[in-house]
Amino acid sequence: MNLWNVRGFLPGGLRQAAGVAGWGVSYAFRQLNAALLRSRWPENVKRLRAFHDLHFGQRCFILGNGPSLRQTDLSLLREEFTFGLNRVYLLFPELGFTTTYLVAINALVIRQCAHEIASLDIPHFVTWNLRRHFENDPRALFVDTRFTGANGFSSDPTRRLFEGYTVTYVAMQLAHFMGFSQVILVGVDHSFKTEGKPNRIVVSEGKDPNHFSTVYFGKGFRWQLPDLDNSERAYLLARQVYEKSGRSIVDATVGGKLNVFPKVDYLSLF
C-alpha cells in the first residue's frame, strides 16, 4: 500500500497532520533532487514567479464548462483576461480566440488529453505530479497540487495549491497570485445531471449532458463525479480570502446554482 494513502485510515486530526508532514517531506526531497539532478522544478519556480502581480488591479473571467456557456455571449471576452479549465479548448475554433490561460490538474483529464493540452499556444498550468506528459512543452507551468491535507487557500503557487475538489478553485488561487482584483465566474453551473457518489470514477456511456459540449466527456471517457458540497466549502474560503484583501469574486453564470458568491448580470459587465 502506498504510504501516502495510509492517511485515509487515520482520525481527522492525525490525517491532517500527516498530510502537512507528508507534503513537507515531498517538497524537501524535490528541492534536493533539483539540486542534485538539475530537475525542472527550479526553472519552473522562476517562471511561475514571473506571473506574480502581473495583472495587479485588473479583472479576469474564469470559464467553467457548464451548459450555460451556450447561453452566454462569449464573444464579449475576446479582449478580456480569461482562465479556461480542462477541455474548454473545444470551444476555441468556434470562438475564434483562446482563453489567456488554461488550468488542468485532474489526473484523469490530463492522462486522456495531455496531447491536446500540450498543443495549445497559451500558458497552461498543470499538476507537477504528471509532468511526464509535458516533457517537451515550453508553455507548460507546473503547480504542486498533490497536497490534500487541511483545506487551505494559497497565494503562492511556487509551494503548494489546494485543489478544493474542483479545478476552478485552483484557478482562483492563481488569479489571486497574479494580482487580479476581481474574478468573474461564467459557466460555473454547479449542477450535474449525472448522479452518484462524489469523486467516484465513472466511464461515460454516451453523450455528455453536463458540459457545454456533448463530447466534452464523451463515450468512453473516464472522469470523476463532482463533489459539490466540498467544493462549496473551498469556494467560501476563497471568498473570505479575496474580501480580506480588498478583492472580490462575483458570479455571472447564467442560471447557475452556486450561491457562495454575489450574483451579477453578465451583460451589465460590459
Question: Predicted confidence band at 71 (pLDDT cuts at 50, 70, 90)?
Answer: very high
Rounded to the nearest integer, the mean pLDDT of the chain is: 89
Q: pLDDT exceeding 70 applies to what percent of the chain? A: 84
Question: How confident is the model at residue 39, as a pLDDT?
Answer: 72
User: What is the per-residue pLDDT across 155-190, written as a single tens digit (0 to 9) for each?
Assistant: 899 988 899 999 999 999 999 999 999 999 999 999
Average pLDDT over residues 205-215: 96
Structure confidence at residue 40 (pLDDT): 85
Q: What percent of the chain has pLDDT over 90?
A: 79
Written as one string, the DSSP assignment of the chain is --GGGGGGGS-HHHHHHHHHHHHHHHHHHHHHHHHHH--SHHHHHHHHHTTTTTTTT-EEEEE--SGGGGGS-GGGGTTSEEEEETTGGGGHHHHTS--SEEEE--HHHHHHHHHHHHT-SS-EEEEGGGGGGGTT-TTEEEE-----SS----S-TTT----TTSHHHHHHHHHHHHT-SEEEEES-----SS-SSTT-EEE--S--SSSSSTTTT-TT-EEEPP-HHHHHHHHHHHHHHHHHTT-EEEE--TT----SS-B--GGGG-
pTM of the complete model: 0.87
Taking residues 50-74, what's their average pLDDT? Answer: 97
Average pLDDT estimate for 83-111: 97
* Range of lowest pLDDT (138-152, 153-167, 213-227): 138-152
Provide the pLDDT for residue 20: 55
pLDDT in the model for residue 150: 54
